[in-house]
Structure 1
């Protein structure tokens, strides 16, 4: 430990990377999280916070750099909380995320073959077709700020572009700022959701007070000038209304099946289209579908995986707890002329299995649960259905590993293959597809 310029400094050897992008190091028996530090690096850092369980430090000089270190593309990196790993190469990010999946499986004692784990990074820049931007009126900073929240803070990053948003959304930020500056209710707008489909772009303006007639006219004019569909949201999701009727919902297409998926700007969809196409392809391959198959999908959403599966089987049933998404899924099935699909609204954690599974024999099981995983429902239905194959799409390696331990140790399945998909480049999030046979 040294003292320079009245600051206490420590030389750290970085051994790992946390999900928040900070380097992990051990010093005097304590774990430290070090800003702007990568595995394999030696850095000199100042103490930032010793009160937390994991101590915090900030790099002031890199003494030995990692070969995976790259220059961040974004001028807001380090301040904006949207990205935490732009200083790590794309290949390095993928290896890190694969290692996280492996570590989670090992913690839960899940047997697997390392050579059966593959990874893919479909798109690093301009991939986000949805985003939630913070809005704040700050006169001292020149007016309205629009951007992602600052890293680990509630402040709004003053952005003019975003390299991870699709170009249609990134280019909209300056005009959004200018328009909101001219709205009388600008102090009552905390956020704007932006979404882009192949047919249109949309924004959802969250407003805490009623919009004046002038503000409504201003937003209407903005939508027409920018060719953007404007929605207003005064409360929860059920309060979202279009400012004016302007055609059909947003859409995207599934490459593998040719299906067109309709969605509203606040619906849950996979934000990275290229990654989503890879996930669909992998799911279809892992399921090894035949025309005789009956497939059950849990947490089906608006049919993103269900409809491509339906093109290859006799019948598929999709279940989800979100009534609006189930309604959208039914509309998508009708729009794409899929008559071998049934969508059912069910609370998969509370509804007894008999109320929705009936006596139908399902040969294969597909699920894409939230971050909390699906341990309870799997423990209930797997012994009842005994599917030949289970394909599990996960956004949380820890709960995937926990559920995998139950499938393998309790129900006798084998973890046959894993694919890691870097859905959110430059963040700590990872999508994983696992096959159990």
Structure 2
């Protein structure tokens, strides 16, 4: 009797920047969901291209020392996490390796030293999240949660280990609440924003709610001590619904004596514990001095701007969102830093040397771009009269490496140090920070 045909076998070499195992078989690169370095696995491909394949592990023949038992019962189905099967310390080490490899391969740069990785709580850390909601007629129920892996379906979640326990415990009650609403088929999203004094749930409503819906929402808010906001259209249309006397949503940076109010649909970091450490390290690397003029590019609502100003420098914050700039101006005033800050709206993806020159001289610069990076900013820096020090905070190691190539190999900066920040434990997201110096 012949043995049943086995799936192909691969030996995993590393992790990529999304947390997939990487192997090579017959000249092809195989990206393996659920595989870890040093493992031998069987796999089944779900996407095949001439030079690479995406595959799912079907059996682990030799386990890595990095492997651990996932804590979440929904791991493997829910697409919210991809690395719970890897021990927490190994996740951080893998992300550091991804950053180093990107700097070497894409950027052709190497930092003189490596920073100690920043990491913190690995469970219950996520204070910002966007959950999908959907009435599933075939199941006769409403699902609330993240999407399944590689799918538009919503995972049938009853708990979430990366959300604070109070919010995880609300997933089933939220399903029951939405099921009772008249607009249950017209409410596709619930956005979470958890502050220090209030927890906000923003309901994306496609139709107005009924008086009966209003009573249901108020009773839920009272029972579970949350505040509901309603969002009829885009993020700018969100408004508080109940209770109206709830505290203002905010987070704090105690090291700098700063409190940052914000609206639930405005961008803030998802992990407030790590954000405090991140800001502290960035300011220490930047080392702002009283009397200096410093640029904070992609400044958002002032997460770095205000701490820099607290050190006595004058800070120019530039951001592409008018709404965030208005919030930054308000926050500077509330924290007594209006005289040390100035903010403006500009599309930093269209920066030119002429626009940069018009902004005037900066002694130091902090750059905190989105995933697309800051290529035009880096290209526009004057190599002779630009800032003597740049601290770059990145959420994408590939664009950090690309921009580092410009700063080091074109503009003449030294890459003094770099390191990862584990802002999103159990996911493949790699946040990092680098310091560049003109010597």
> Scaled by the length of structure 1, what TM-score is found?
0.94
Give 1:302's aligned residue: 301
Taking the TM superposition and a 5 Å limit, the aligned residue runs for 1:79-118 are 79-113=77-111, 115-118=113-116
Give 1:150's aligned residue: 148
Distance 1:55 1:179 in 2: 42
Taking the TM superposition and a 5 Å limit, the aligned residue runs for 1:256-271 are 256-271=255-270
2:370 pairs with 1:370: yes
Distance 2:357 2:413 in 1: 21
Give 1:229's aligned residue: 227
Asked if 1 retains the 8 angstrom alpha-carbon contact of 2:415 and 2:436, the reply is yes
Distance 2:200 2:245 in 1: 11
Distance 1:7 1:178 in 2: 46
Deviation at 1:348, TM superposition (A): 1.8
Asked if 2 retains the 8 angstrom alpha-carbon contact of 1:110 and 1:408, the reply is no
Of residues 104-113 and 71-80 in structure 1, the stretch that sits farther from structure 2 once superposed is: 104-113
Of residues 244-253 and 107-116 in structure 1, the stretch that sits farther from structure 2 once superposed is: 107-116
> How many residues get paired?
435
Deviation at 1:212, TM superposition (A): 2.2
Distance 2:217 2:384 in 1: 54
Asked if 2 retains the 8 angstrom alpha-carbon contact of 1:129 and 1:169, the reply is no
Q: Which SS does the other structure have where 2:151 is aligned?
A: coil
Asked if 1 retains the 8 angstrom alpha-carbon contact of 2:113 and 2:416, the reply is no
Give 2:404's aligned residue: 404
Deviation at 1:384, TM superposition (A): 7.6
Give 2:284's aligned residue: 285
> Scaled by the length of structure 2, what TM-score is found?
0.93
Of residues 45-54 and 358-367 in structure 1, the stretch that sits farther from structure 2 once superposed is: 45-54
Of residues 282-291 and 52-61 in structure 1, the stretch that sits farther from structure 2 once superposed is: 52-61
Give 1:217's aligned residue: 215
Asked if 2 retains the 8 angstrom alpha-carbon contact of 1:199 and 1:251, the reply is yes
Q: Which SS does the other structure have where 2:372 is aligned?
A: coil
Asked if 1 retains the 8 angstrom alpha-carbon contact of 2:198 and 2:247, the reply is no
Q: Which SS does the other structure have where 1:120 is aligned?
A: coil
Deviation at 1:148, TM superposition (A): 0.6
Asked if 1 retains the 8 angstrom alpha-carbon contact of 2:351 and 2:376, the reply is no
2:180 pairs with 1:182: yes
In structure 2, do the counterparts of structure 1 residues 10 and 137 end up closer, same or farther at CA, with 3 Å as the change threshold? same
Asked if 2 retains the 8 angstrom alpha-carbon contact of 1:169 and 1:195, the reply is no
2:289 pairs with 1:252: no
Deviations 1:12-64 (A, max 9, x none): 11112234433222122222223322110112334544457532443333221
Give 1:330's aligned residue: 329
Distance 1:102 1:217 in 2: 54
2:361 pairs with 1:361: yes
Deviation at 1:116, TM superposition (A): 2.5
Distance 1:6 1:328 in 2: 63
Distance 2:357 2:323 in 1: 21
2:425 pairs with 1:428: no
Deviation at 1:314, TM superposition (A): 3.0
Taking the TM superposition and a 5 Å limit, the aligned residue runs for 1:19-30 are 19-30=17-28
Alignment partner for residue 34 of structure 1, among 12, 32, 35? 32
Asked if 1 retains the 8 angstrom alpha-carbon contact of 2:256 and 2:307, the reply is yes
Distance 2:355 2:54 in 1: 51
Q: Which SS does the other structure have where 1:140 is aligned?
A: coil
Distance 1:223 1:52 in 2: 53
Distance 1:187 1:274 in 2: 36
Runs of 5+ consecutive residues of structure 2 not aligned to the other structure:
none
